Amino acid sequence: MSFPATRLRRLRRTDTLRGLVRETELSPAHLIQPAFVIAGEDVREEVPSMPGIERFSISHLVEEAGEIAEAGIGALMLFGIPAAKDEAGSGAYDDEGVVQMAVRALKEAHPDLIVMTDVCLCEYTSHGHCGVIRDGGTEVDNDVTVELLAKTAISHALAGADAVAPSDMMDGRIGSIRFQLDEEGHSDVPIIAYSAKYASAFYGPFRDAAESTPQHGNRRGYQMDPANAAEAVREAELDLDEGADMLMVKPALPYLDVVRRVKEATGAPVAAYHVSGEYSMLKAAAANGWIDERAAVVEALTSIRRAGADAIVTYYAKEAAAWLR
């Protein structure tokens, strides 16, 4: 007696059947929208290398945040562009800085929207590096920078930030930030640690938007080597030991294996950052008619979720949310 061969296609015949057995869920609730806030008034500038993405002054950002919330996205990650920059990145930890004022305005207008803040100095330093440069040299001073990062995180928490996200890749900064937050009465503020942030070629459009291109050298001395994956797991485990609440892998698509390894090794909540270069490539291909933008974006974001990401930071968040509803 012969038996018919197993036919997996039987459960692929219709949308309903495919939905019943779908293994990976992607919804607006999984997405975080990055946003650029710039000093000044009545400013709304498109970023040329990121079609559809703008830099907003605070009042316009508040309006945009309303649209983000209406799209079903529950969280926004804030990046600041100050009016002036200096060697120490002092605008990052100024209580009246552009991010601090924006957080207060956002929380007043949209109290239910989760406001996450980028904690780094690169947008605020005149040299474009993520920390303070040692006198007469070109190297970032790790320990001095960590002190300023903790000061920045405290200023964001005081302004009302729901979570802080250190993206600098300095050693020991998670422990220092956690200690300072707890000491200053902000023990409920979670830390989203960029544990595996690679020295990637996919950050170019972001650096245009944030005006943070290094004026000398590069960031390979503190960001991770793209060839390494086991190192990312060690970084993630160290950050958890120091008090991180969520781990970040950045970029996303070229590092899906790292997302999976970090998730499996730690079991902790993991976010992945679908970065500016990934966004702009999809936009360019779609503009040339080479791909179906909606299908390609949903496929890309689904792959990030499938790899193990609990949350995805993506410039497509608002658009994708409309497609997924």
Decide the pairing of beta strands 31-38 and 311-314: parallel
Average pLDDT, the chain: 93
Given pLDDT bands bounded at 50, 70 and 90, which one contains residue 206? confident
Residue 310 burial (CB count, 10 A): 14
- Decide: 272 and 252 in contact? Cβ < 8 Å: yes
Q: What is the pLDDT of residues 122-167, one digit of tens each?
A: 888 887 777 788 766 678 888 999 999 999 999 999 999 999 999 9
Local structure of 275: helix, strand or coil: coil
Q: How many CA atoms lie within 13 A of 224 on its CB side?
A: 25
Look up the CATH architecture of domain 25-324. Answer: Alpha-Beta Barrel (3.20)
- Closest by alpha carbon to 60, among 44, 78, 74, 76? 44
Active site annotation includes 263: no
- Decide: 192 and 155 in contact? Cβ < 8 Å: no
Distance CA 193, CA 206 (A): 19
Residue 9 burial (CB count, 10 A): 7
Q: Which residues pair with 191 in a beta bridge?
A: 164
Q: What is the pLDDT of residues 95-133, one digit of tens each?
A: 999 999 999 999 999 999 999 999 999 888 887 777 788
Active site residue: 85, 250, 263, 283, which one?
250
Local structure of 19: helix, strand or coil: helix
Mean pLDDT over residues 277-305, rounded?
Answer: 98
Mean pLDDT over residues 284-300, rounded?
Answer: 98
What is the pLDDT at residue 1?
Answer: 57
Rg (CA), the chain: 20
Active site residue: 85, 107, 151, 197, which one?
197
Active site annotation includes 85: no
What is the pLDDT at residue 4?
Answer: 64
- Closest by alpha carbon to 224, among 190, 258, 267? 258
Decide the pairing of beta strands 44-46 and 54-56: antiparallel
- For the whole model, what pTM was predicted? 0.93
The amino acid present at 160, given as its one-letter code, is G
Residue 268 scores a pLDDT above 90: yes
Note if the bond before 51 is cis, omega within 30 degrees: no
Mean pLDDT over residues 15-20, rounded?
Answer: 92
End-to-end CA distance of the chain: 49
The residue ranges of every structural domain in the chain are 25-324
